[in-house]
Amino acid sequence: MFFIDTHCHIDFDSFDNDRDQVVQKAREKDVHYLINIGCERLSNQKVLENSKRFENVYFSSGIHPSDVDQSDLTVFDQIEEFASQEKMVAVGEIGLDYFKYDGDRERQKTYFKKAIQLAAKLEKPIVVHNREADQDVAEILRNELKTRAVLHCFASTAEFAREMVDLGIFISFTGIITFKNSTYDDVVKSVPIEQLMLETDSPFLTPHPFRGKRNDPSYIPLIAEKVASLKNMTIEDVQRKTTENAIRFFNLPFAIAH
């Protein structure tokens, strides 16, 4: 039995000095597979390289909403090119981010829609970033979505979670659900285990009791423990179900008994 970290950024500079050790440390904590998520052109290249360097690392290619103002539409040519790589399992991360954003929201929406349309063409699921943009994210997903989708690092309301779940969308939780002041207990409880996945979003959002340190994929079991507690499940059952969900969602080429 093993875990999958469905969303991490081990391509970031903060891992340059110990990337090999981080991947090994995750294995030692039963986090056997990682999805390294691309954010923009350079990041997309780095996550591809990591997938070639590490047997247990898969990747996605995307354009983060915070990067669209520094990008152009040729990033979609890159994403389509990388989709020919066997280990590219999703388009993302993509989405909308209105937090402290005074730029052109329509530009973000345009990139989000184009990414969703490309994912449909490529027959890949999408990894969605949503920050303070619930209404617009929901509207675009309702109108455009033709593949599987996960809302990563979910930080909205239980009501919004249920709305997304009803559309068949998966929800992924990070270490924020472990924080002492967390307001997400009801949110976790509202998401069916069949549509729930686990992620670190490392190097960000380190789970309690390690807040303040750099996050890494080895902390996935701490998030699983919190989900198990809130859902009155064993950690083994959470591990099994969330791993099965990730394998199915990303169409990963192995089975739970691997």
pLDDT tens, residue by residue, 19-63: 999 999 999 999 999 999 999 999 999 999 999 999 999 999 999
Domain assignment of residue 257, yes or no = no
Q: What is the pLDDT of residues 141-170, one digit of tens each?
A: 999 999 999 999 999 999 999 999 999 999
Give pLDDT tens digits for 79-116. 999 999 999 999 999 999 999 888 899 999 999 999 99
Give me the CATH number covering residue 189: 3.20.20.140
Indicate the pairing of strand 149-151 with strand 170-173: parallel
For residue 118, the model assigns a pLDDT of: 99
- For residue 226, give its domain range: 3-250
Residue 255: inside a domain:
no
Q: What is the mean pLDDT of residues 174-198?
A: 97
What's the predicted TM-score (pTM) here? Answer: 0.97
Tokens of 239: 């591990």
Q: Where does the pLDDT of residue 254 fall: very low under 50, low under 70, confident under 90, or very high at 90 and above? A: confident
What separation in angstroms does the CA of 229 have from each of 2, 212, 224, 238?
19, 23, 9, 10
Parallel/antiparallel/unpaired status of strands 31-37 and 3-8: parallel
Beta-bridge mates of residue 4: 33
Total structural domains in the chain?
1
Strands (E) across the chain are located at 3-8, 31-37, 57-61, 88-97, 126-131, 149-151, 170-173, 196-198
In-domain check, residue 64: yes
* Closest to 200 (Cα-Cα) out of 3, 6, 20: 6
The predicted structure's pLDDT at residue 257: 62
pLDDT of residue 102: 83
Inside any domain, residue 256: no
258 pLDDT more than 50 = no
